[in-house]
Amino acid sequence: MPRRYCPPEGQIIQAFTFALDPTDEQAAKISRFFGARRKAFNWTLDQMKSDLDRYHETGESGTPLSFYSLRKRWNAEKDTVCVNQNTGEVWWPEVSKEVFADGVRGATDAYWRWQKSRSGQIAGRKVGFPRFKKRGKDRDRFSFTTGTMRLEADRRHLALPVLGTLRTHENTRRIERLIAMNRAKILGVTVSRQGERIVAAVRVSVARPQRAGVAQSDSTVGIDVGVRRLATVATTSEVISELANPRALERRLSELRRLQRQRTRRTRGSRQYAETAAKIARLHTEVANLRQHTIHVFTTSLAKTHGVVVVEGLDVASLLQQRGLSGARSRRRGLADAAIGEIRRQLRYKCPWYGSTLIEADRFFPSSKTCHDCGHVQDIGWLEHWTCEECSASHQRDDNAAINLARWASLGSVGAPVKRGAEHQTESHSAAGDDTRKGSPILVGPNNSVRSAA
Ligand SMILES: [Zn+2]
């Protein structure tokens, strides 16, 4: 398993990502490194597979399948593994040894995740046996964890082993300043391809200043992440604020749909097809960056401002698929699901930074279809506006859901609030739940692991 680096008391690990502007020569080296990492990954996987096969046939266990022992084996065999088949030339000296080590580590980590998953040591979806990586199917990347990794004082350059000094597309002042003040230390750098860009993620351990605490420590808010707006924030006293999808994002999404339609009219393998595909890739990156930025600003402001933040519980992605959504709405739903996952992930680490508390509501709490005035639960389908059958109150779907979530923290009637990791059975109100499969009650166990009750 990956060895987790534990930062000293008062320090946290953060990653800062910068787009790079490599020279042609550097870009060629980087491409080569991507391939070299895959080579080492696949070689390691192949070694592990044949070791396992031999073990099953003969019972011989051989050397342990650890990172250290496989890296040693790689170093002993790289002269025969890294040979250009046309020229007979040994090519490994042109690649940083860190890149090969990263590939070996990737394969051994994947193997041990599989082992731990099948023996039930890690919760969640079952992890499959690692697969061979193919160019184009595998994210191009490699990491450095030792050697020269330095952000230059001009705030426009990053120095890396073997590659030398790379120009950054953006200013690096966000992190260079912290390093110069000795408040941050570089732990590692991952170089990857994102769309058409080469980016470097600089992982640092940073000393976080002690904050004075959140601005409104007695305020509790519920967050509903939706399809129409990115998010709705409500207080227990029904004060609503909306976070719309940024207009720049909406524009790119409709452009993306247009290009995707265009691509279907073109012939695969043609020049025009490739051009459209490249535009689509670029737009995807822009959309991802914009969304990520919006969500970061949003979660920081939530964590800094409110004493208690309540969000929907664990994803129910697999259950949502069963609803048979299709077309634009399912794409939207997909975006909303990804957004809630990301918002929850960011709040989990940001809330403790600023001294606010994050509560994740029970995943079967029917926040959308419970009337926040009288507590009546009714089926509302996909309606945006609905009227309560019991008390005739009219509701906007997202506002109502956010208010219910805000009150979840203190409501006794729908069950005790769950903090993450708490053991909690949900059968009592799963009948009214949003996501219940008929006939098979679902239990949420420790660590949010989900299983169907037989
Ligand atoms: Zn009502």
Which pLDDT tens digit goes with each residue over 408-440?
A: 887 643 444 444 333 333 333 333 333 333 333
Residue 102 has pLDDT above 90, yes or no: yes
Cβ partners under 8 Å of residue 339, min gap 6: 225, 230, 231, 291, 295
Task: Give yes or no: residues 336 and 411 share one domain.
Answer: yes
Single out the catalytic residue among 51, 140, 224, 362: 224
Task: Give yes or no: residues 410 and 336 share one domain.
Answer: yes
Give mean pLDDT, residues 134-155. 90
Question: Whole-angstrom distance between the N-terminal and C-terminal Cα of the chain?
Answer: 32
Cα–Cα distance for residue pair 268/57, rounded to 1 Å: 46
What pLDDT score was predicted for residue 4? 58
Residue 254 has pLDDT above 80, yes or no: yes
Single out the catalytic residue among 102, 312, 360, 399: 312
Q: Which pair of tokens denotes residue 267?
A: 């012939």
Cα–Cα distance for residue pair 254/247, rounded to 1 Å: 11
Q: What number of CA atoms fall less than 13 Å from residue 235's CA on the CB side? A: 10
Q: Tell me, in angstroms, the distance from the centre of ligand 1 to residue 261's CA.
A: 44
**Domain for residue 203, yes or no?**
yes
Which of 56-70, 197-211, 395-409 has the weakest average pLDDT?
Answer: 197-211
Cα–Cα distance for residue pair 79/140, rounded to 1 Å: 24
What pLDDT score was predicted for residue 109? 94
pLDDT band per the 50, 70, 90 thresholds, residue 315: low
Task: Give yes or no: residues 239 and 365 share one domain.
Answer: yes
What pLDDT score was predicted for residue 12? 78
Average pLDDT of the chain is 82
What pLDDT score was predicted for residue 211? 61
Q: Tell me, in angstroms, the distance from the centre of ligand 1 to residue 385's CA.
A: 13
Q: Tell me, in angstroms, the distance from the centre of ligand 1 to residue 435's CA.
A: 21
Q: Final residue of a domain: which of 160, 186, 207?
A: 207
Classify residue 315 by burial, with Cβ atoms within 10 Å: 0-12, 13-18, 19+. middle
What pLDDT score was predicted for residue 6? 67
Q: Which is higher by pLDDT, 181 or 223?
A: 223
What pLDDT score was predicted for residue 429? 33
Most confident stretch, 100-109, 212-221, 229-238, 375-384: 100-109
What pLDDT score was predicted for residue 441? 30
Neighbours of ion ligand 1 (CB under 5 A): 371, 373-374, 376, 388, 390-391, 393
pLDDT band per the 50, 70, 90 thresholds, residue 391: very high
Residue 247 has pLDDT above 90, yes or no: no
pLDDT band per the 50, 70, 90 thresholds, residue 447: very low
What pLDDT score was predicted for residue 175? 86
Q: Tell me, in angstroms, the distance from the centre of ligand 1 to residue 376's CA.
A: 5
Task: Give yes or no: residues 335 and 384 share one domain.
Answer: yes
Angle between helices 24-58 and 97-118 (to 10 degrees): 40
Residue 34 has pLDDT above 50, yes or no: yes
Q: What percent of the chain has pLDDT over 90?
A: 43
Q: Final residue of a domain: which of 118, 151, 178?
A: 118
Give mean pLDDT, residues 301-313. 91
Q: Is 224 a catalytic residue?
A: yes
What pLDDT score was predicted for residue 396? 92
Task: Say if residues 21 and 180 touch (Cβ distance below 8 Å).
Answer: no
**Domain for residue 132, yes or no?**
no
Q: Tell me, in angstroms, the distance from the centre of ligand 1 to residue 399's CA.
A: 14
Task: Give yes or no: residues 183 and 224 share one domain.
Answer: no
Q: Tell me, in angstroms, the distance from the centre of ligand 1 to residue 248's CA.
A: 38
**Domain for residue 321, yes or no?**
yes
What pLDDT score was predicted for residue 284? 87
Q: Is 46 a catalytic residue?
A: no
Task: Give yes or no: residues 176 and 220 share one domain.
Answer: no
**Domain for residue 241, yes or no?**
yes
Task: Give yes or no: residues 282 and 163 share one domain.
Answer: no
The SS3 of residue 91 is: coil
pTM across the whole model:
0.64
Q: Tell me, in angstroms, the distance from the centre of ligand 1 to residue 379's CA.
A: 13
- 400 is in which domain, residue-wise? 216-452
Q: Which is higher by pLDDT, 7 or 197?
A: 197
Give mean pLDDT, residues 209-224. 79
Q: Is 89 a catalytic residue?
A: no
Task: Give yes or no: residues 230 and 84 share one domain.
Answer: no
pLDDT band per the 50, 70, 90 thresholds, residue 295: very high
Amino acid in position 294? T
The SS3 of residue 22 is: coil
What pLDDT score was predicted for residue 13? 83
Single out the catalytic residue among 176, 398, 399, 434: 398
Q: Tell me, in angstroms, the distance from the centre of ligand 1 to residue 374's CA.
A: 4
Report the candidate in 289, 283, 279 with the shortest Cα–Cα distance to residue 253: 283
Cα–Cα distance for residue pair 368/432, rounded to 1 Å: 11
Q: Final residue of a domain: which of 207, 235, 254?
A: 207
Residue 200 has pLDDT above 70, yes or no: yes
